[in-house]
Structures are given as C-alpha cells and as structure tokens.
Amino acid sequence: LSLHDALPIYDLQKFIEESQLPGIVLKEVDARVYPEKTLAAHVLGYLGWQDNRQIGRYGIEGYFEKRLAGSLGFLSAEQDSTGSVIDVGDRNFNPAQDGADIVLTIDRVVQSIIEEELANGVRRYGAVRGSILVMDPTTDAILGMATYPTYDPNYYYAINEARVQLNPIISEIFEPGSILKPVIMAAALAEGTVTPETTFVDNGPVRVAEYTIDTYDGKHYGVQTMTQVLEKSNNVGMVWVGQQLGAEVIYDYFRRFGLGEKTGIQLEGETQNTLDEPANWNITTIATVSFGQGVALTPLQALHALNVIANGGTLLQPYVVARIRKNNGDEEITQPTTVRRVITKSVANQTTAMLVSVIENGVAKLARVPGYYLAGKTGTAQVPDEKGAYDPDRKIISFVGYGPVNQPRFSILIKLDDPAGLSFASGTAAPMFRNIAEKLLNYYQIPPDYDKDKVPPAIAPGGPDDQGA
C-alpha cells in the first residue's frame, strides 16, 4: 500500500516487473470501477456476479445490461486429429462487440447538492431513511436522484441489508398525504367546481361514516377560500372539495396525471400500485384520497404528476438517459415526449399561484427564498401497518415544489421516513427545499423575480388559456 501511494500506477508496474520478486506476478484483468464512489449509486446500480458471470444489477446497470455488455466473439475452425487448426479448412470468426455508452441526464453538481443536503437532513431530523428527487419539469428529465443511507457500488458485496441497494424513489410506494392536494385542487379548478376564491366554512372536524377528520393542528378558521385551504393544508377543506368532485372525477384525473401506472423510467426495479376502480370507492375513500391518504404511489410518480402543474398542463415522459452511443459511433438522443395534455395552461397557472401562496403566506414559509417566486406543498402522512391499520408511531413527511414559477428550471421532491419526535414537513422538509433551491438558483444563475429586500408583489392567480383539453 505504501508503494502504491508513493508511485504512479505505471511506475509501480515497472518496479514490480524489474524487481522480479519471488511469488509476485502481474495479471491484467477487466473491472468495472465507479470513481465517484457513492455518488448516484442508486441510479447507476452495479456490475455484480450471478451464475459465475458478471451481470448488471439495479439502476442503469440492470436496465441496460444487454446493451452495456456487448457480445462475446466467436471462432470456429476445422481441426485435425491432433487438435491443430487446419489452415485451409473452414473457419468462421465473429469479433467481439463492445457495448454501448449510456450518457445520463444526471447533473453531477445537482446530484452532489442533494446528496449532501439529504445526508444532513436524515441525521438532523433522526429519520430512518430519506430520498430527494430533482427534475426539469419542462422536459421531465431527471437531474438528480438520491437516497440515504446509500452504498458504494465498488463494494456492493459489503452491504449487509439488501434493502439499501433498492431505489425507493422508483421501487417503493407510499401514501403521499398533503403533497397530493395540488392534484385534487387542479382537478376541481379544471372541472369548474371551484375557483381560487371559492369559499367553504370550516367550523370544526367533519364526520364521514364512522370516522372523524380534523385539521393537522386541530385549528379551525371559519370561512376559507380554496387558496387558504392549501395555505393551511386544511384536511377538512379538502374533504369538502373531494365531495364536490366525486369518485369518478377524482379517479379520472388521477389517471390523467399518470397515477396508478408505471412511468416507464429507464431504471431497473420500477414498481406501481394500481388505482382501485371508483365503483369500489365509498364516501370514506373519497374523503381520505382528497388529502392524500388511501392512495399509494412512488416518489417519482408524485413529482411526475406535480410537473404537469409546473409546466403548464402536460404530462411528459420522464427519462434519465440523455443519449446512447453505439459502438459504431451512432447516437440515440432522447427527446422530451408529451404523453397527453391534462389541464389547461390557465388551470395550471391558477394552481401554481395558489402554491406560491402556500410558501409566501402558508405553512411552508420556511421554504421561501427571498427574491424568487417558488411554488410548494408540505406533506405529512401516516404509514399503514401489515394489517392495514395506520401505525401511530410511524409517519412520512415530504415536500414538493418548483421554481421559479414563470420559467421553472427545477422541481424537487423531498421525503423523510419516520423522523424522530413530533416533526412536521413545515419545519423539516421545507427548509431542506429552501437550501436546495437557493443552491440551484445560484448554480443556474437565475436572476431574482423581485428585490429580495422589499415586500414581494402579489402574483397573478391566473394566466392565458391555451385552450387545451
């Protein structure tokens, strides 16, 4: 080790060869090396062993195993009785083919930012695990994807718990809680059921079948607009919205927003949770899904859906591969792809303005970056146990947001599993969002929307309608 540290690799090789040390030989071997170590480990996966051969596992390595591996060469020839090749005999030779090169959309700077913030956040708030996803909402390209605890793919075999290798952002479903409220509100706006100024009266908890549903903090504020419902993350208000929409409309918009189906991301291990048909819903189902409980999705599906609002109303195809370089020099370049229009631009703008107010005036004030209009929503959700009941000792807190809202450059999802104590997203995930957003705004050199030392002017609640479906 001391020789290796003191000498460059080629000088070390020369030293060993010239020294002719007894019992020391040099042998050239091929190896997959991950020079960035833990950086983006859950995106990359690793090259491991299976049935005495190397094979890609998880992430990009697993999904593109065949394209990365290439093909072995082949030589067949006639032999004589001694086993020697007959020079004039039939011979068939196919040379080995190198695999393709996969170029990702992951930005190394963005990835480094979120991995540092995530590790600090998990430790600071005593969470069991955490994840952060960053996307470009205008293209649905993944800019960063991190999970902590993580691992070093160079030493994948040293992992004691196989779960660490799984990427929960695409492989594990959770009940999102309040980060799903913007989807419900956008559906209500699109249907003309409400406007941002529509009011309802919050006089206390609401009774639905045998259940009592209350606000997260037990406080009630009387007459409330729909914007204030989101500002205060009011479960009672969202139940009222859900009841106005009904099961079939909510289900239809969930499907339009891409929920209940795989996104098709090019990573091994994506899972999905099918949506129960609305015929099987009851009044309790309508109430709970309205504030994000009783429906499960992956973190990628959650941010994928929010991007619809951020980009002006279209569902795009998420991707993590920018291009694939073939061994002949040709390239397959990934182009942003529109799946369908979900809501009009006007509805998307109205919902965005409401989410800006959540940060400027509501429960997510700690997510605010002075000088910039950012949209966001907090979420705190219960976790069902093996019997289907909610575990009183477990919870998931989360935050979704994007900005700057006039020309979004990034969207962010933060998820913390089982943080210690009485943690809420407003005091944990929200400031983590602010920290990341500040660094991204600086990294992308985005000028402020207004003078940060002055009171921000009100953002318009609507926008031009693009006549989409």
Residue 2: band (very low, low, confident or very high) from pLDDT cuts 50, 70, 90: very low
pLDDT at residue number 153: 94
- List % helix, strand, coil for the chain (3-state, nearest 5): 35, 25, 45
Mean pLDDT over the full length of the chain: 90
For residue 411, pLDDT over 90 is answered with yes
Regarding predicted confidence, which is higher, 224 or 98? 224
* 175-202 mean pLDDT: 97
The pLDDT tens digits of the residues spanning 274-331 come to: 899 999 999 999 999 999 999 999 999 999 999 999 999 999 999 999 999 998 889 9
* 178-191 mean pLDDT: 98
The pLDDT tens digits of the residues spanning 213-265 come to: 999 899 999 999 999 999 999 999 999 999 999 999 999 999 999 999 999 99
Separation between Cα atoms, residue 316 and residue 300, nearest integer Å: 13
Is residue 38 a contact partner of residue 152, using CB atoms and an 8 Å limit?
yes
For residue 459, pLDDT over 60 is answered with yes
Lowest mean pLDDT among 85-94, 250-259, 428-437: 85-94
Compute φ and ψ for 162, nearest 5 degrees.
-60, -25
**312 CB-contact burial (10 Å; exposed 0-12 / middle 13-18 / buried 19+):** buried
pLDDT at residue number 59: 95
The pLDDT tens digits of the residues spanning 53-79 come to: 888 999 999 999 999 987 776 656 677
Separation between Cα atoms, residue 449 and residue 38, nearest integer Å: 36
* 406-434 mean pLDDT: 93
